[in-house]
Amino acid sequence: MQNTTLILLLGAMAVVAFYFGRSRSLALVGGASKSAALHSLPGYYGYFTVVWCLLPALALMLLWLLFEPRLVVAFVVSGLPDAERQMTGGELNLLVNNIQNLASGDAVSGEVDSVLRAAADRYNEISQWSRRLLAVLVLGIAGLGATYAWRRIQPDLRARNRVEQVILYLLVAASSIAILTTVGIVLSVLFEAIRFFQKVPLTEFLFGLNWSPQTAIRADQVGSSGSFGAVPLFTGTLLITAIAMSVAVPIGLMTAIYLAEYSSARMRAIAKPLLEILAGIPTVVYGFFAALTVAPWVRRAGEGLGFEVASESALAAGLVMGIMIIPLVSSLADDAIHAVPSAMRDGALGLGSTRSETMTKVILPAALPGIVGGVLLAVSRAIGETMIVVMAAGLAANLTANPFEAVTTVTVQIVTLLVGDQEFDSAKTLAAFALGLMLFLVTLCLNILGLRFVRKYREQYD
Amino acid sequence: MKDANSTRMKVEAGLQRRRRKERVFQLIGLLATAVGIVFLGVFFFSLIKQGASAFEQTHVRLDVEMSSEALAPDGELDLIYADFDGVIRSALRNLFPDVTGRGDRRELNQLVSIAAGYQVRDMLVEDPDLLGGKATIWVPTSANVDMLVKGKIDPGIDEAMRPVSNQQIRWVDQLETEGRIETRFNTALFTNGDSREPELAGIKGALMGSVYMLLVTVALAFPIGVAAAIYLEEFAPKNRWADLIEVNINNLAAVPSIVFGLLGLAVFINWMGLPRSAPLVGGLVLSLLTLPVIIIASRAAIQAVPPSIRQAAFGLGASRMQVVFHHIMPLALPGMLTGTIIGMSRALGESAPLLMIGMVAFIVDVPGGFTDPATALPVQVFLWADSPERAFAERTSAAIIVLLGFLLLMNLTAVIIRKRMERKW
């Protein structure tokens, strides 16, 4: 039976359970006119029955679906002839793959012999059997649960409190998913990174000057020893981030100042949504624009001035990334400026300073912590930005501070290492997770710091 | 008196300089504001200029003879092995009888897309009686001819530098003067999956992939996000655990999206064994990514409900759950929906985490379910942007226009919901 059919059936059972629970509660006290004799509203007795009907059944189904594939494979493997069961892990994996492909009617690598055929049949048989068992068990438990709840309904059963307790648990579970996500990120990245650092020492990764992750497939291959010194990646990331910031911070800040202090209300009403559009454009689109329009333009301009410009220069990627970040900086700076109490502004103006003097000498110093917090968040955004650099920055790890040369970044390397075929125990793949760990830690620090600045000084003037 | 006068004179002496500074400062502010807006203008202008022509495709009119000797030598039409391309080739040969050399003929055949043969096949499948007869059909030209007709290939530059040869240009000119060339709406762009041939490549596969992904995302992220927001606003005790969740959510909103991709790769694919390239996994990753956005927006919506509503409900004897679900939720729902739509539009534009979970594969088939291999619209943009053919640059812009169109639609919906349903208290 298909899972969707099963879920639909469960839903139907829940509706029936609700109806029976509700009507039993009413029947016990003798009709709707006497529902005041019940502890809770009649509907709650219905929900009480639904909870008992659905929750155990769904829990069983989830567990089953999580463990079923492995169990089926284990059964099939244990049914194989002795010769096959002695195989090493990799060979066995391949064999299991072939069995699964044959069972589902896909192409199979190698010869199909009688052993394989028998195993595939067995595989199909066991999965079918498992499906049937699952359907019977789930529907049975749902029915049993509903009946149990139905029999427990009494006028003095505190149905509302029980249902509300269950809802509260569900709410707690939903809110802890945010925590689980963070834990998941940390664990998944950390485990692979630790495996990487067992192969490559941490000091080499952090301080090595040479990055070429191509590891040799054959031992006698030339020029692919694989070296994992990540310093060129860090400097490349910093270079592009610095270019982006030198575009985004002054422009974003001046935009915020202009819109807060000088522009008419009408212009503000037009300019703000336009800048928000800038923030809503997908980064892949910025990347396309950087690679196809801005990069050639930077190259022509640079060559016109007599510089040698790489076609994937850091400058093009940084410029476009800077434009992308302008709205972030300007909206956070806007918040910080508006958080400064107007008494300070009025006081400065009343003492005869011009508006620009009020801004630069009174408001900006007062808003500075908030602005710094905003800039930190923007830096974290620039460091973690992926698509623009993947499309417009280079792949070669150059250790340079020249914005006209091609550099590569941490995110670009993560993408290039993990896109395409990969084996999960090579240093090359694991290196991506080590880079991911660095990326996560650095952006985490910047975010915590930035958010703390932004929040603390916003509250201080309230 | 004298002192006051001298102060005044000092101030007046500097006044002009200060006013000039003031004007310069204001001008800088205006220029800074203009930079963002001008970029936006240039961006949209260049996008539309590049992409608009991709919505049209050049077609050529051919008189084909579906002779039974060529298509069904054994008397029966074999749909797999019949030489449909041969029919197109001979139609071209009839138009230019003086082309004889092998190389020249090959160049001639390159004028027409390989889709032409499929078109003949589909016609015959639909109406088998056409076999043995003649027909006049419009078939798509190859991408290079398409570029030439649209003026994206300059016939003036050196022959070796462009993908069409001099005699091909001559043939196309001749076809144009005979009225055999026409640009028509590019239906392939919306009905086909990806392809190596630009004139056959379409965004339908990517679009369906995005739709499936967003369905998973909205089904997971909306209920979980709203539930989390309700718990944090209404039920959570104000203690360290609640603080931790709070800090956590704000941080997650700023974690680089590629890190979520790493999580998806390690947890959903390697640990749980879900299939690679599947919209299901993409949707799971994107729902984790949009969850903080939805939670933050929903909390703001709950906070905006005035306390008097809550107090009135409590006063009439409602339980906490009843207050929340019967009174606060309905009033906060527009804000929650707006936040969800904005989260969804962020999810639609996201591509970096999808690269990590294998949704960058070259997939021709349009996905038909949540576990079929698929790509997404922004990833399709990424893939096409990498292709060297000129015709793909045009199609990339077209795909971007479609993507931005969807984003615009979603954001407009959010704005309308906010305007229509939000109450002022």
Mean pLDDT across chain A, nearest whole number? 86
Together in a domain, B133 and B30: no
Residue scoring higher pLDDT (A455 or B349): B349
**Residue recorded with tokens 């659905």:** A54
Say how far apart CA B385 and CA B50 lie, in whole Å: 13
Q: Supply B417's token pair.
A: 């919901």
Q: Do residues A124 and A132 make contact, with C-beta atoms less than 8 angstroms apart?
A: no
Together in a domain, A236 and A136: no
The model's pLDDT over A265-289, given as tens digits with 9 standing for 90+, comes to: 999 889 988 898 898 899 999 999 9
Together in a domain, B187 and B268: no
- To the nearest 10 degrees (0 to 180), the angle between helices A3-29 and A42-78 is 150
The last residue of one of the domains, among B148, B174, B193, is B193
Cα angle B167, B168, B171 (rounded to 5 degrees) comes to 85
Residue A237 lies in a domain: yes
Together in a domain, A137 and A250: no
Residue A189 lies in a domain: no
List of residues 6+ apart from A35 with CB closer than 8 A:
A26, A29, A41, A42
What is residue B326's predicted lDDT score, i.e. its pLDDT?
93
Q: Which residues of A touch B344 (CB under 8 A)?
A: none
pLDDT reading at B97 higher than 60: yes
Residue A214 lies in a domain: no
Q: Supply B118's token pair.
A: 């499929």
At residue A138 the predicted structure's pLDDT band, cuts being 50, 70 and 90, is very high
What is residue A255's predicted lDDT score, i.e. its pLDDT?
95
Number of helices (H) and strands (E) in chain B: give both, helices first: 18, 3
Say how far apart CA A50 and CA A54 lie, in whole Å: 6
Together in a domain, B289 and B262: yes
Contact B248 A69 (CB under 8 A): no
Q: Do residues B384 and A265 make contact, with C-beta atoms less than 8 angstroms apart?
A: no
Together in a domain, A112 and A233: no
What is residue A460's predicted lDDT score, i.e. its pLDDT?
62
Residue B199 lies in a domain: no
pLDDT reading at A79 higher than 80: no
At residue A446 the predicted structure's pLDDT band, cuts being 50, 70 and 90, is very high
Distances (CA, A) of A102 to A72, B85, B367: 15, 35, 22
Coil, strand, or helix at residue B179?
coil
The model's pLDDT over B214-256, given as tens digits with 9 standing for 90+, comes to: 999 999 999 999 999 999 999 988 888 778 888 888 888 889 9
What is residue B6's predicted lDDT score, i.e. its pLDDT?
84
Shortest Cα distance from B380 to chain A (angstroms)? Answer: 10
Residue A62 lies in a domain: yes
pLDDT reading at A222 higher than 60: no
The last residue of one of the domains, among B167, B193, B219, is B193
What is residue B40's predicted lDDT score, i.e. its pLDDT?
92
Residue B138 lies in a domain: yes
Shortest Cα distance from B244 to chain A (angstroms)? Answer: 8
Looking up residue B234, the CATH number of its domain turns out to be: 1.10.3720.10
Say how far apart CA A310 and CA A400 lie, in whole Å: 13
Q: Supply A322's token pair.
A: 């800077």
**Cα–Cα nearest to A442, from A415, A402, A409, A404:** A409
Shortest Cα distance from A315 to chain B (angstroms)? Answer: 16
Q: Which residues of B touch A282 (CB under 8 A)?
A: 348-351, 378, 381, 403, 407
Sequence length of chain A is 462
Together in a domain, B257 and B285: yes
Together in a domain, A442 and A334: yes
Global ipTM: 0.89
- Work out the average pLDDT over A254-258: 94
Together in a domain, A312 and A437: yes
The last residue of one of the domains, among A112, A133, A157, is A157
Residue B100 lies in a domain: yes
Helix locations, B52-129, DSSP H: 68-71, 84-95, 102-109, 115-126
pLDDT reading at A28 higher than 60: yes
Shortest Cα distance from B305 to chain A (angstroms)? Answer: 20
- To the nearest 10 degrees (0 to 180), the angle between helices A427-460 and A410-418 is 140
The model's pLDDT over A98-109, given as tens digits with 9 standing for 90+, comes to: 777 777 776 666
| Overall domain count for chain B | 3
Say how far apart CA B241 and CA B250 lie, in whole Å: 14
Contact B260 A185 (CB under 8 A): yes
Q: Supply A201's token pair.
A: 């020492």
The last residue of one of the domains, among A157, A182, A210, is A157
Together in a domain, B134 and B180: yes
The last residue of one of the domains, among B193, B223, B246, is B193
Structural domain harbouring A10: 3-157
Say how far apart CA B413 and CA B396 lie, in whole Å: 26
Give backbone dihedrals phi and psi of B63, rounded to 5 degrees, phi first. Answer: -100, 105
Q: Do residues A363 and A436 make contact, with C-beta atoms less than 8 angstroms apart?
A: no
Together in a domain, B42 and B60: no
Together in a domain, B63 and B173: yes
Looking at B239-369, which runs of residues are DSSP E strands? none
The model's pLDDT over B375-419, given as tens digits with 9 standing for 90+, comes to: 999 999 999 988 878 888 889 999 999 999 999 999 999 888 888
pLDDT reading at B347 higher than 90: yes
What is residue A143's predicted lDDT score, i.e. its pLDDT?
92
Residue B198 lies in a domain: no
What is residue A216's predicted lDDT score, i.e. its pLDDT?
56
Structural domain harbouring B62: 56-193
List of residues 6+ apart from A95 with CB closer than 8 A:
A80, A84, A87, A116
| Overall domain count for chain A | 2
For B22, the closest of A176, A277, A354 (CB atoms) is: A354
Together in a domain, A123 and A239: no
- In sequence order, what are the beta bridge partners of A228? A211
Together in a domain, B217 and B336: yes
Contact B29 A258 (CB under 8 A): yes
The last residue of one of the domains, among A157, A181, A205, is A157
Task: Find residues 54-83 of chain A whose CB sits inside 8 Å of chain B.
Answer: 66, 69-70
Contact B250 A451 (CB under 8 A): yes
The model's pLDDT over A284-312, given as tens digits with 9 standing for 90+, comes to: 999 999 988 888 898 898 888 888 888 78
- Which amino acid, B415? V
pLDDT reading at B333 higher than 80: yes
Asked if A372 reaches chain B (Cβ–Cβ under 8 Å), the answer is no
pLDDT reading at A215 higher than 70: no
**Cα–Cα nearest to B296, from B254, B267, B266:** B254
Residue B385 lies in a domain: yes
Contact A443 B254 (CB under 8 A): yes
Together in a domain, B61 and B34: no
Together in a domain, A131 and A235: no
Task: Find residues 314-343 of chain A whose CB sits inside 8 Å of chain B.
Answer: 323, 326-327, 330
Together in a domain, B246 and B336: yes
Looking up residue A364, the CATH number of its domain turns out to be: 1.10.3720.10
Residue A112 lies in a domain: yes
Together in a domain, B216 and B187: no
Together in a domain, B78 and B48: no
Q: Do residues B331 and B263 make contact, with C-beta atoms less than 8 angstroms apart?
A: no
Q: Which residues of A touch B21 (CB under 8 A)?
A: 354, 356
